[in-house]
Structure 1
Amino acid sequence: MNIIIPMAGMGKRMRPHTLTTAKPLIPIAGKPVVQRLVEDIIGTANEKVEEIAFIIAPHFGKETEEMLVNVAESLGAKGKICYQEKALGTAHAILCAADSLKGNVFIAFADTLFKADFKIDTSKDAIIWTQKVDDPSAFGVVQLADDGRITAFVEKPETFVSDLAIIGVYYFKDGENLRAEMQYLLDNNITDKGEFQLTTAMENMRNKGLGFYSDQVEEWLDCGNKDATVYTNQRILEIKKDKEQLVAASAKLENATIIAPCFIGENVRVSNAVVGPHVSLEAGVTVENALISNSIIQAQTTVKNAHITNSMLGKNVNYSDKAAELSLGDFSVIL
């Protein structure tokens, strides 16, 4: 099986954090979003994952590319870097990894995490994972028959047809067939709302007799904006608290209270402070005389004499001020 991870988006809703860091590389409980996503996918697979193709923008840089390849190799797969220079829709993005579209393929867009207890049924032609939502007009949705077979795909419906939103996680038994259908869209300039859509290719495949099925995840965790990412960090800490070592042995805690679950990274220093619950302190963070809850504090940041909650602070931030909810990008200074 191959895994394809489209992740070339600009992440505008996550600014200022994505001005210097690609959105899928934002840390969640000590690991980048994309690493947690790939680990969870591999946990669902019944067969060996041979290759993981990451579709990125060219400006992400060599350091990011090397990190992604290392993630794949740490999980026993070959890492491959593919480039998408223009955002022309989901089908266009996936086709940037055309050489990896062969055999059994799992595709997941890297701005979402999920909690699920399933194994991929590789006997099915295709599986589309969904979640019920209150406002389906912002999503692609599926309509189902009684046996779970998908009868229609609708991209961002203006009138109600279904509340089962496609969360961006897919399995295809025949990657070559999917590639051919998406290439047909590009060759014939077939767009939906100005973009080449995966849902269009899937509808064509369904009309030709392929069996598409829906399966629902237990929980869909979005990383699209600051508040959603902070909440996702909270949920991942709860899910992983008994499965991962969340406090590094090198952390220095002096007169500190840690209210679990929290992630405390390598060489973190906490003194005269209360941290938690649901806080991630990445490597090299310093916290002094502070109260921090429900927040993500990225590497090498210093927080002093402050009370913060529901916040994201980027790398190398220096913050010392009153109580607040914050979203500060890298290298910010507030004293």
Structure 2
Amino acid sequence: MAGRGSRLRPHTLTVPKPLVPVAGKPIVHRLVGDIAKVLGEPIEEIAFILGDPAFFGDEVVQSLEKLARELGAKPSIYRQLDPKGTGHAIMCAEPSLSGPAVIAYADTLIRASFDLDKDADSVIWTKKVDNPEAYGVVNLNEEHQIVELVEKPERFVSDQAVIGIYYFKEVAELKKELQYVLDNAIINGGEYQINDGIKRMMANDKIFVTGKVDEWMDCGNKNITIETNQRMLGFLAKDGEKLVADSVVQENANIIPPCYLGENVVLKNTTVGPFVSIGAGTVLENTTVKNSLIQNHTVIKNANLDKAMIGNHVKFNGNFEHISIGDYSVLE
């Protein structure tokens, strides 16, 4: 999670993208929790690979350490100070690369219920897509083992897209091959890639299989993040999760579910929903909002919002639609 999340600006100017809340919980918190459910066994350690301490500071570290401990795991923090690709990022956590491990990119959310095949040397999690030419996909043999990774294929290879979550029965095998990639300056797209380490493992007859997720949700930009928020609210409502805090204050207000409303949200002469997430301490007055994501301690008045994404500590008084406002903005 070392990237700056530039495609989600202005919302990532003050908050790292993996910590942007979706349906009331930071992206990385949801992802780690969902992976833990799929594994179904105790987790010894969770290693987080962060970027520059000036951006990923003490507050971020404390949040991640708390997340790991809540799952009964030891937290480890590593830094990738020079963005040299996924393979390089993984090797920044070299002291933790032993034993069975999951490696995940922290800007995606999943829903999955499959049983992890721990007899294989590795599992690459995939999702069936309608336009495989836009993704990296896996090529399978007759035994449904992965024999090739193909990036944005010009001809049809398969419709199983790689989503950026991997299981390794012995991650030291990947470490060995990535060290070779680094030592021999094997660079693709200007960076050291995890795929080059995986390809070397395949060349050594390691068995790779797919783990297919039911849902794969991206948080790459504002519109996609709003869509992910909608889908996640639907899933959580179906699961029966409590989404509206008891401390929410309603004065002539209407909530159309599913919606997430955090602690001490205040609604005055306002209709919220469906598919709206509102962070703690936010006040909405004379406002109608749907299909939107609003963060903490923000004040919105006299607005009619649809597909809006609004950050923390914002003051907004207006009548615009389809907006994207970052933290600490004021529109009055």
Pick from 161, 169, 173 the counterpart of residue 173 of structure 1: 169
SS at 2:308 equivalent: strand
Q: 1:29 to 1:44 in 2, by over 3 A?
A: same
Q: What's 2:188 paired with?
A: 192
Q: Is the 8 A contact 1:252 1:267 kept in 2?
A: yes
Aligned match for 1:37, one of 20, 31, 41: 31
After superposition, the Cα gap between the structure-2 partners of 1:9 and 1:137, relative to the gap in structure 1 and judged at 3 Å, is farther
Conserved in 2, the CA contact under 8 Å of 1:46 and 1:119?
no
Partners of 1:76 and 1:94 in 2: CA distance: 22
By how many angstroms is 1:158 displaced? 4.8
Q: Secondary structure at the match of 2:3?
A: coil
**Counterpart Cα distance in 2 of 1:46 and 1:18:** 32
CA contact (8 A) 1:233 1:296 kept: yes
Give the CA deviation at 1:145: 1.6
Question: Contact 2:116/2:211 (CA < 8 Å) preserved in 1?
Answer: no
Which of 257, 270, 285 in structure 2 is aligned with 1:260?
257
Judge which range, 307-316 or 234-243, deviates more. Answer: 234-243
Question: Which of the residues 2, 24, 27 maps onto 1:8?
Answer: 2
1:54 to 45, 48, 59: 48
Shift of 1:47: 2.2
| Separation in structure 1 between the aligned mates of residue 98 and residue 164 of structure 2, nearest angstrom | 19
8 A Cα contact 1:155 1:199, kept in partner: no
Please tell me whether residue 219 in structure 1 is matched to residue 215 in structure 2. Answer: yes
Correspondence list, 1:15-34, <5 A: 15-34=9-28
Residue 3 of structure 1 corresponds to: none
Q: 1:86 to 1:139 in 2, by over 3 A?
A: farther
8 Å Cα contact 2:292/2:307 also seen in 1: yes
Aligned to 2:290: 293
Partner of 1:208: 204
Q: Give the letter aligned to residue 300 of structure 1.
A: H
Aligned partners of 2:132 and 2:51: how far apart in 1?
29
Please give the secondary structure, in 2, of the residue aligned with 1:292.
Answer: strand
In structure 1, stretches of 5+ residues that fail to align are: 1-6
Look up the match of 2:179.
Answer: 183
Q: How does 1:28-107 map to 2 (within 5 A)?
A: 28-58=22-52, 59=54, 60-107=56-103
Per the TM alignment, residue 108 of structure 1 is displaced from its structure 2 partner at its CA by 0.9
Task: Classify the secondary structure of the residue corresponding to 1:316.
Answer: coil
Point out the more displaced range, 129-138 or 316-325.
129-138
Q: 1:137 offset after TM fit, Å?
A: 4.2
Q: Which residue is equivalent to 2:158?
A: 162
Alignment map for 1:266-305 (pairs within 5 Å): 266-305=263-302
1:316 pairs with 2:310? no
Shift, 1:99, TM fit: 1.3
| Corresponding residue SS for 1:18 | coil
Q: Higher mean Cα deviation, 304-313 or 148-157? A: 148-157
Residue of structure 2 aligned with 1:126, choices 119, 122, 133: 122
Q: Percent identity?
A: 49
Q: Residues of 2 paired with 1:28 and 1:256: CA distance? A: 23
CA contact (8 A) 1:46 1:120 kept: no
User: Structure 2: which 5+ residue stretches go unaligned?
Assistant: none
SS, match of residue 38 in structure 1: helix
Measure, in 2, the Cα distance between the counterparts of 1:323 and 1:195: 42
Measured in 1, the distance between the counterparts of 2:9 and 2:51 equals 17
Name the amino acid aligned to 2:32: V
Q: Calculate the TM-score normalised by the size of structure 2.
A: 0.96
Superposition RMSD in Å: 1.3
Q: Which amino acid aligns with 1:50?
A: E
Structure 2 partner of 1:108: 104
Count of paired positions: 329
- Cα offsets for 1:274-312 (capped at 9, x unmatched): 000110110100001100001110000111110001111
Scaled by the length of structure 1, what TM-score is found?
0.95
Deviation at 1:167, TM superposition (A): 0.3
Structure 2 residue 211 is matched with structure 1 residue 230: no
Instruction: Check whether the contact 2:305–2:320 (CA below 8 A) recurs between aligned residues.
Output: yes
